[in-house]
Amino acid sequence: MLEKIFHLSENNTNVRQEVLAGVTTFLTMAYIIFVNPSLLAAAGMDHGAVFVATCLAAAIGCFIMGLYANYPVALAPGMGLNAFFAFTVVGQMGYTWQVALGAVFFSGICFFLMSVFRIREWIINSIPLSLRGGIGAGIGLFLGFLGLQNAGIVIENPATMVSLGDMTSWGPMMASLGFIIIAALYHRGVTGSVMFGILTVSLISIAVGEVQIDGVFALPPSIAPTILQLDLAGAMDIGLITIIFSFLFVDMFDTSGTMIAVAQKGNLLNKDGSLPRIGKALMADSTATVAGSLLGTSTTTSYIESGAGIAVGGRTGLTAVVVGILFLLSLFLSPLAAAIPAYATAPALIFVAVLMCHSLTTIDWEDITDVAPVGIAALAMPLTYSVASGIAFGVLSWTAIKLLAGRGKEITPAMIILSALFAIKFVIV
Return the domain boundaries, the chain. 12-428
Beta-ladder partners of 154: 164
Q: What is the pLDDT of residues 67-90, one digit of tens each?
A: 998 888 899 998 878 988 998 889
Beta strand ranges found along 118-170 (DSSP E): 154-157, 161-164
DSSP code at position 209: T
Strand partners, 75: 302
Of the ranges 111-115, 231-235, 422-426, which one carries the lowest mean pLDDT score?
Answer: 422-426
pLDDT at 323: 93
Residues in the chain: 429
For 355-385, write each residue's pLDDT tens digit. Answer: 878 878 878 889 999 999 999 988 988 888 7
The answer to whether the beta carbons of residues 256 and 124 sit under 8 Å apart is yes
The yes-or-no verdict on residue 165 having pLDDT over 60 is: yes
Report the C-alpha gap between 71 and 277 in whole angstroms.
9
Q: Is the pLDDT of residue 273 over 60?
A: no
Which pTM value belongs to this model? 0.77
Mean pLDDT (the chain) is 85
β-partners of residue 162 are 156
Q: Rg of the chain over CA atoms, in angstroms?
A: 21
The whole-number pLDDT of residue 13 equals 83
> Of 27-36, 142-151, 305-314, 342-351, which range is least confident?
305-314
DSSP code, position 78: P
Q: What would the pLDDT profile of 248-260 be if each residue is shown by its tens digit?
A: 877 776 776 677 6
pLDDT of residue 56: 96
* Average pLDDT score over residue span 147-155: 89
Distance CA 7, CA 306 (A): 19
- What is the DSSP secondary structure assignment for residue 75, as one 8-state letter? E
Report CA-CA distances (Å) from 139 to 20, 202, 353.
Answer: 31, 26, 8
Residue 237: what pLDDT?
Answer: 78
Measured between alpha carbons, how far is 124 from 134 in angstroms, rounded to an integer?
Answer: 14
Residue 244 burial by Cβ neighbours in a 10 Å radius (0-12, 13-18, 19+) = buried
The string of pLDDT tens digits covering residues 309-345 is: 887 778 888 999 999 999 999 999 888 877 888 898 8
Contacts made by residues 111-116, CB under 8 angstroms, sequence distance 24+ = 111/248, 111/251, 111/252, 111/282, 111/285, 111/286, 111/289, 112/283, 112/286, 112/287, 112/290, 114/248, 114/252, 115/279, 115/282, 115/283, 115/286, 116/279, 116/283
